[in-house]
Structure 1
């Protein structure tokens, strides 16, 4: 009820502001009331049509992925909330000035009075459609129709009263505080919707849940009680959340909150502060991901792309262990890649592999694409995205892998982190989500030698992570550099810190640039 009241109040307040400004600016205009009423009627009619359309979509999806549909509605609603909060905070003054100018033009006869109906209709249509969509999102988040309607009625009356007060000038000074409070309440509501969407997507087996449950506070504050249910709907409280829910909840607050706070700062300062917030979010995810890490040993990718560069590469790993079922494990990849632009590069590989106590065999064909999101050094943290497709002819398996690539460089140090998520596709369904974290820190002695340390972790099933020793964790020294102008190398010696991997693994990369 509280959340629906906040939503309707926020949208009604915006409608009331528009109406109040137009009414104040068009005093004395003949038939202004008729045109404004016509605009209100048109806006309400459009919102009603959208409500009917939303119901038809919901019925069409009934029994055919309702969880996915609900998740989409919640995510769209969350995006609308975030955009509206930031946009209104940034452009409130410009909006007010524009509407005053419209009213003045109508008063002076520069525009036909029908423009009043158009402005009012578009305002009500936009805000009314948002109320419809957000209300459907609250229903998807398990709020009852009765509480939704009651909360909406409360918000409607409260928003109208505040708008009336604003019209007569009683709350002119306090209106900014009202927007500030409701904006932050809506940010938490937005984060809660994202969290609920992730829950639906996890139930539909679209995204991994990571650790479930991350905690259980049902005995302290149940979601079934009045307080727990109110917090659940308004703030996204969950007594038994998954790790992915918590991650997305925190990330939403960081991103939308940072955008709100920085929306009126100058461009240079805003970009630096926002990139710092993104870096903080990345660090939080890294700390969370390494609470219960696991490990796949592979190349750690930089987000930086060299346009016009053709490279030949080979890389691999070799494991040593006292136990025969872990000793003599070997993997080697041979590939060719090209930087098509300063932002985009693609590579293809052929992989051979030798399992312990087995012979070497051809394992897979791999195609990968890497995209650099920003110019190097434009923000505090360089970032990129990576997508890989792998086909194993022998087993007939197909796998997609995605990575977030982050890197921070100084005059003396380079730090790189890869967050990895992968899953088999085109299977029978129910295949586990795999995840990994890989990072290194290198010290720049010269271009020929950059020693450092690296860590690799992998979880073979993010929904059932198991004990620490059942996962793969390795850490050890590494050195990167150039052999000459065209040759690059990487060499690492990695020691197991869990029982799953080989006791010691050698990792290498050799590249030739044309």
Structure 2
């Protein structure tokens, strides 16, 4: 439940930030109220598109069986891991300009297509956030076999996001957007590598990748990943008490790519 709560919390806060930026621009620049009505229509459409993606993924899963289903689920885990890492790195590069970028898009869309353009910008922005959340939750569900815990975590994540967005917008001293996205971004990178490790284990189990050396070491006497605390550590960071050499290569390769990308972004900031 914990990682689904965190994912939905983080993504919902970002979605609420996007809505707040669009709403504030329209309050300043639209005196008729038509733009605000178009905004809410666009928000509803964006959520609907994300829900349609979720339905499509579940429908595809129901049509698959055996090895095909295993490949589909594993591929989604890899896609979710890549999307999480890409989203965090994108926010590190463009987060400061997100407000200006959204306002430019909204200005151009309103001038070109009026209320329809405003609804389109809102729909696309919310659909992107919602689609990411759907893929992330599906990937987590494959790791945890779904269940009520996933749904409960998602519901609590939305409620916590509303409280967080309120606190951020109130400008409370202990919390601001920069701190929030910095800390949550690091935790998301940990979730991404956990999904990557899980997907890699599946591919090794299918005989596509060699384990190389298995196990490379055994730390189960310190923290067993089948114990409650070890399982929590595993779900949040990809920890394995008895990892194979291939898992270690993938794990270190992931962090090397993240580190080098962050260094490049800092040089071009």
Whether 1:119 aligns to 2:135 is no
- Look up the match of 1:467: none
Q: What are the equivalent positions in structure 2 for 1:355-374 lying under 5 Å apart?
A: none
Identify which of 232, 235, 242 aligns with 2:234: 232
In the superposition, relative to structure 1, how do residues 128 and 14 fare at CA in structure 2: closer, same or farther (>3 Å)? same
TM normalised by structure 2 equals 0.88
- Look up the match of 1:177: 179
The 4+ residue runs of structure 1 with deviation greater than 6 A are: none
The whole-number CA distance in structure 2 between the counterparts of 1:194 and 1:227 is: 20
Higher relative contact order structure (alpha carbons within 8 Å, sequence separation ≥ 6): 2
The whole-number CA distance in structure 2 between the counterparts of 1:166 and 1:68 is: 41
- Look up the match of 2:82: 79
Whether 1:26 aligns to 2:26 is yes
Is residue 143–residue 233 contact of structure 1 (8 Å, CA) maintained in 2?
no
The whole-number CA distance in structure 1 between the counterparts of 2:27 and 2:171 is: 15
- Look up the match of 1:256: 258
- How far off its partner does 1:80 sit? 0.7
The DSSP-based 3-state class of the residue aligned with 2:27 is coil
- How far off its partner does 1:103 sit? 5.0
- Look up the match of 2:244: 242
The whole-number CA distance in structure 2 between the counterparts of 1:62 and 1:171 is: 52
Is residue 224–residue 241 contact of structure 2 (8 Å, CA) maintained in 1?
yes
The whole-number CA distance in structure 2 between the counterparts of 1:171 and 1:63 is: 53
Identify which of 149, 153, 172 aligns with 1:151: 153
The whole-number CA distance in structure 1 between the counterparts of 2:145 and 2:124 is: 29
The whole-number CA distance in structure 2 between the counterparts of 1:123 and 1:103 is: 11
- How far off its partner does 1:105 sit? 6.3
Q: What are the equivalent positions in structure 2 for 1:348-387 lying under 5 Å apart?
A: none
Identify which of 35, 43, 48 aligns with 1:45: 48
Whether 1:60 aligns to 2:66 is no
Q: What are the equivalent positions in structure 2 for 1:430-509 lying under 5 Å apart?
A: none
- How far off its partner does 1:172 sit? 11
Is residue 5–residue 154 contact of structure 2 (8 Å, CA) maintained in 1?
yes
- Look up the match of 1:98: 101
- How far off its partner does 1:94 sit? 2.4
The DSSP-based 3-state class of the residue aligned with 2:217 is coil
Q: How many residues align?
A: 266
Is residue 209–residue 242 contact of structure 1 (8 Å, CA) maintained in 2?
yes
Whether 1:134 aligns to 2:136 is yes
What root-mean-square deviation, in Å, do the aligned CA atoms of Structure 1 and Structure 2 show? 2.5
- How far off its partner does 1:106 sit? 7.8
Unaligned segments of structure 2, at least 5 residues: none
Is residue 4–residue 148 contact of structure 1 (8 Å, CA) maintained in 2?
yes
Whether 1:218 aligns to 2:194 is no
Work out which of the two has the higher radius of gyration on C-alpha atoms and give 1 or 2: 1
The whole-number CA distance in structure 1 between the counterparts of 2:263 and 2:115 is: 38
The whole-number CA distance in structure 2 between the counterparts of 1:238 and 1:149 is: 26
- How far off its partner does 1:65 sit? 3.9
Unaligned segments of structure 1, at least 5 residues: 268-514
In the superposition, relative to structure 1, how do residues 131 and 158 fare at CA in structure 2: closer, same or farther (>3 Å)? same
User: For residues 305-345 of structure 1, what are the alpha-carbon distances to aligned partners after superposition, in whole Å with 9 as ceiling and x for unaligned?
Assistant: xxxxxxxxxxxxxxxxxxxxxxxxxxxxxxxxxxxxxxxxx
- How far off its partner does 1:23 sit? 1.2
- Look up the match of 1:326: none
The whole-number CA distance in structure 1 between the counterparts of 2:102 and 2:153 is: 30
More strand by share: 1
User: For residues 376-408 of structure 1, what are the alpha-carbon distances to aligned partners after superposition, in whole Å with 9 as ceiling and x for unaligned?
Assistant: xxxxxxxxxxxxxxxxxxxxxxxxxxxxxxxxx
